[in-house]
Amino acid sequence: MVVSASPSSVRAAGSLEAVGQSERSPFARLTDLLAPYQPGEKLINLSVGEPQHALPGFVAEVLARHTADFGRYPMAKGIAPFREAAAAWLARRFTLPRTPDPETEVLVLNGSREGLFLAAVAAARYVAPRSGTPAILLPNPFYPAYAAGTRAAGCEAVFLPTTRANGFLPDLDSLDAATLARTVAIFVASPANPQGSVASQAYYAKLKQLADRYGFLILSDECYSEIYTRQAPGSALEVAGDDFRNVAVFQSLSKRSNLPGLRVGFVAGDANFLKAYHELRNVAAPQVPVPLQHVAVAAYADETHVEENRRLYRLKFDLADQILGSRYGYQRPAGGFCLWLDVSAHGGDEAATVKLFRDGGVRVIPGSYLARPQPDGSNPGAGYIRVAMVQDSDTTAEALHRLVRVLS
């Protein structure tokens, strides 16, 4: 299958008039869907991917030690100790050709969502003129910041379906030369949200070859890289060459360190792109408070809390193995903390979501809300629900038992 679309058809499909509901936040749509109902049992919220494990023990002490730094404006690029800690962590965690230069190849972010959004805008300004209407490629389903950034960049969104048939990753072989020639950037997520699929080094290498040949950027969302059930996922930087050309990877402490409210992450990679990206962020992005960056320095220096975090998620996937078995097409994901369950035989994703909430008090999100219709009208998320395994083990077990009972 060739994944391409004419500019006029994509603009129409992406307009508010034509798309309507699919342009809205998936969580706003979920609130509207469930508004007529009350939870049938005590509510268990598994719709939002907000980690609920304990904060690392060092957070309060580090904040207290650096409280005075709230009294000054932070630099947009981040303090040197943070950039050095992020670069050192990347070099320890992944097999890189060299350690990224903290001065030119690492920038602090106010959480990865902000970073991913503005990366699309920066990419559209950075790349050479395209052959045709500039496009940004997105996996489908996708993290909403990708599409929002694409719109803000004035680029055409080309949605690449990620289904079981292609391992829940965009099928690179399906891309035609005309689409690639007008591509500004591609968003890729590994482990993927919501399916938990992990890109291999061969996959990254093929993507890098395309990026170099056609002159577009790889914007690699690796925020779930530290939550995995088998082997540790790799990074797009591992195949990026000594200059990291055309590659930018995004990391966050939200999932790795159970710090979603800290709003600290980073981007690392191609120094030339990061220079242009920094110029945009310097005038458009929120700065990251210095005390929070010091917490991040401590977090990237410690793996004990990360290992414990991973252990807790592994226990919850053990529960899913036992309680779900092979129901709903369940397979233990390679990474991330979500289940991607096929409920097409149970009335579809919206109907199953309503039933689970109304009859079982379990709040999940319909898969179709996390995706967009393809040019042929199909929605790769339709028929699935996403279940975020963020609660404690006992609550998770209760929710999964209710899910089986209600859908049966």
CATH number of residue 79's parent domain: 3.40.640.10
Among 263, 280, 301, give the residue marking a domain's end.
301
Residue 12 amino acid letter:
A
CA distance 26 to 12: 20
Among 301, 336, 351, give the residue marking a domain's end.
301
Same domain? For 169 and 205 the reply is: yes
CA distance 284 to 287: 9
Question: Residue 332 in contact with residue 338, Cβ under 8 Å?
Answer: no
Which pLDDT score, from 0 to 100, does residue 10 have?
37
CA distance 23 to 28: 11
Same domain? For 133 and 244 the reply is: yes
Same domain? For 290 and 392 the reply is: no
Same domain? For 223 and 341 the reply is: no
Same domain? For 43 and 99 the reply is: no
Same domain? For 290 and 377 the reply is: no
Question: Residue 158 in contact with residue 134, Cβ under 8 Å?
Answer: no
Query: Does residue 336 lie in a domain region?
Result: yes
Cα 344 versus chain centre, distance: 25
Residue 357: exposed, middle, or buried by beta-carbon count in 10 A (0-12, 13-18, 19+)? buried
Query: Does residue 262 lie in a domain region?
Result: yes
DSSP, res 70: G
Query: Does residue 235 lie in a domain region?
Result: yes
CA distance 128 to 176: 19
Domain that holds residue 346: 9-54+305-407
Question: Residue 323 in contact with residue 287, Cβ under 8 Å?
Answer: no
Which pLDDT score, from 0 to 100, does residue 158 have?
98
The CA-based angle 51-56-60, given to 5 degrees, is 115
- Nearest CA to 268 out of 248, 238, 293 is that of 248
- Nearest CA to 128 out of 4, 211, 207 is that of 211
Which pLDDT score, from 0 to 100, does residue 23 have?
77
Cα 249 versus chain centre, distance: 11
- Nearest CA to 39 out of 364, 368, 366 is that of 364
Same domain? For 44 and 156 the reply is: no
Query: Does residue 111 lie in a domain region?
Result: yes
Same domain? For 88 and 220 the reply is: yes
Cα 288 versus chain centre, distance: 20
Strand partners, 186: 137, 218
Same domain? For 352 and 381 the reply is: yes
Beta strands in 167-216, from DSSP E residues, in sequence order: 183-189
Query: Does residue 147 lie in a domain region?
Result: yes
Q: What is the pTM of this model?
A: 0.93
Query: Does residue 4 lie in a domain region?
Result: no
Per-residue pLDDT of the chain in tens (408 residues, 90 and over written 9): 334 443 333 333 333 333 456 678 999 999 999 999 999 999 999 999 999 999 999 999 999 999 999 999 999 999 999 999 999 999 999 999 999 999 999 999 999 999 999 999 999 999 999 999 999 999 999 999 999 999 999 999 999 999 999 999 999 999 999 999 999 999 999 999 999 999 999 999 999 999 999 999 999 999 999 999 889 999 999 999 999 999 999 999 999 999 999 999 999 999 999 999 999 999 999 899 999 999 999 999 999 999 999 999 999 999 999 999 999 999 999 999 999 999 999 999 999 999 999 999 999 999 999 999 999 999 999 999 999 999 999 999 999 999 999 999
Same domain? For 357 and 247 the reply is: no
- Nearest CA to 281 out of 70, 114, 85 is that of 114
Among 249, 279, 301, give the residue marking a domain's end.
301
Which pLDDT score, from 0 to 100, does residue 20 have?
59
CATH code, domain with 350: 3.90.1150.10
Q: List, as one string, the DSSP characters of 84-124.
A: HHHHHHHHHHS--SS---TTTSEEEESSHHHHHHHHHHHHH
CA distance 128 to 123: 10
Which pLDDT score, from 0 to 100, does residue 190 have?
98
Cα 38 versus chain centre, distance: 30
Q: Give the residue carrying structure tokens 């391409």.
A: 4
Which pLDDT score, from 0 to 100, does residue 116 have?
97
Query: Does residue 3 lie in a domain region?
Result: no
Same domain? For 264 and 370 the reply is: no
Query: Does residue 2 lie in a domain region?
Result: no
Same domain? For 238 and 353 the reply is: no
What's the domain count of the chain? Answer: 2
